[in-house]
Chain A
Amino acid sequence: MHDKDNREKIEIDLLIEAVRRYYGYDFSNYSKAHIKRRMAVFLAKHRYESISEMQHHVLHNSNVFEDFLNNFSINVTEMYRDPDFYKEFREKVIPILNTYPYLKIWIAGCATGEEVYSFAIMLQEESLLERSTIYATDFNSNALQKASRAIYSIDNIKSYTTNYQKSGGKYSFSDYYMANYNSVIIDKSLKKNIVFAEHNLVTDSVFTETNLIVCRNVLIYFDRELQDKVLSLFNSSLITGGFLALGTKETLQFSAVNSNYSAVSKENKIYKKNSI
């Protein structure tokens, strides 16, 4: 059967297998529609004629691979994306976190760090940052580097400021950064308790016990099987009574660990791990 679509499917499968075997990054349980879209974007950007040609360059040129990886890890994020989520988190979760002497927080798939600083600012305002350690992880080291540099384009600051205010921010957003020409740098003091580390949700295991895991808009790129695997990884990391925050369109509902959790906010996808 020589059908063109089938050929493309074969090429995609081969490339994913090649990347897994040669570089150790496993995309085989990513959503197929997502993979197709990212491949199409990458193909157009590099003007390759086919995915087979792309595979050659990805395997033989580490710069191309790095770009391939950046293209596959979604680094589009913003500060206080979904202000309602942060607002509800402040109201319902912070008072409980406040009862712990010490907090370990895992922000998984943190990309370029916008969400990490959104959390750091919120924790600072609630006097929790001092006694927290935030583990901010991603599989993409370029993204992590950007995250730890904490320099962002000034173009987005206006919308971040609006988001911050809507999220229940207590002060002025400009208190937390210094503007410099076209960029802003986040206040260094916020970084003190943040640990940036490479971690791949697909292939790595639990590295610490946590009170809170934030993983928003990461699972949407995975198929159900991988979603389930990652959620059980989170489940083994969370202490009893710990919190899990997912993206507003993600849910625990269909996962094997669902019965271990109760919803703190159905709308904003905040869950609490029950004692068994």
Chain B
Amino acid sequence: MYKAIVIGASAGGLYAIRDLLKPLPAEFNIPIIIVQHLSPHSDNYMIEFLNKTTNLKVKEVDEKEKIKSGQVYIAPPNYHVLIEDNETFSLSADEKVNYSRPSIDVLFYSAADVYKKNLIGIVLTGANDDGARGLFEIRKSGGLGIVQTPATAEASQMPNAAILEANPDHILNISDISKLLKQIIKEQN
């Protein structure tokens, strides 16, 4: 039974995330936690945009916030996101990882540690290697690893790196990732 989905994206991620979330119904009852690489000075445009273009409730991660199902959480600019054993968020302003803060690897490691096999990790488009090690860690803990087909990604480096490092369970284009998620949720409900 999957309890959470973590998604990492970088260059080209905004539209990829929108396309992935769009087909998901409002009653999609599992939390989705997203790290999208952003400038440290970004405003909340991404959250407004996703709230307008998807059926799900999208919000920025708040410190010590309880993780709720049916909610999409976006990492705040300039903070790493960690998950506590009691399924609340912690934030960290410590050093960048893979030149990034928030870093996908930091979220994925922490989520793998808490959710173990009950976690789905997804790496989307991006022009760096963040997320590859983290996805490996998720798979090592028994979770499910999904990577966007590199040829369909706006930037293929990140999916390629994740495929090499983590040997994911599925390599799919965005609409098939959405279908798979819907199917998984349907089966476990």
Which residues of A are in contact with B by a Cβ distance under 8 Å?
5, 31-34, 36-38, 40, 74, 76-77, 81-83, 166, 217, 220-221, 224, 247, 249-251, 254
Query: Is there an interface contact between A251 and B63, defined as CB atoms closer than 8 Å?
Result: yes
Choice from B90, B95, B110 contacting A76 with Cβ under 8 Å: B95
Q: 1/0 per residue B59-92: CB within 8 Å of A?
A: 0001110000000000010110011110000111
List 16 extra interface pairs beyond A32-B85, A33-B110, CB under 8 A: A5-B113, A34-B82, A34-B92, A36-B110, A36-B113, A37-B109, A74-B93, A74-B94, A76-B95, A81-B78, A217-B93, A220-B91, A221-B92, A250-B63, A251-B62, A254-B64
Tell me how far the C-beta of A54 lies from the nearest C-beta in chain B, rounded to whole angstroms. 18
Contact A33 B64 (CB under 8 A): no
Query: What chain B residues lie within 8 Å of A249 (beta carbons)?
Result: 62-63, 76, 79, 91
Residues of B within 8 A of A32 (CB): 84-85
> CA–CA, A5 to B79, complex, Å?
26
* CB–CB B109/A40 < 8 A: yes
Question: Do A33 and B90 have beta carbons less than 8 Å apart?
Answer: yes
Indicate the size class of the contact surface on chain B.
20 to 34
A217-B40 Cα distance, complex, nearest whole Å: 15
Residues of B within 8 A of A37 (CB): 82, 92, 94, 106, 109-110
Interface Cβ pair total, 8 Å cutoff: 58
> Most chain-A CB neighbours within 10 Å: which of B62, B84, B90, B113?
B90
Q: Are B93 and A33 in contact (CB under 8 A)?
A: no
With both chains docked as a complex, state the minimum distance between the C-beta of B39 and any C-beta of chain A, in angstroms. Answer: 11
Are B63 and A34 interface neighbours, CB within 8 A?
Answer: no
> Measured between alpha carbons, how far is A150 from B21 in the docked complex, in Å?
48
Closest partner residue, chain B, to A220 (CB atom): B91
- Please tell me if the beta carbons of B90 and A220 are within 8 angstroms of each other in the complex: yes
A267 CB → nearest B CB, Å: 10
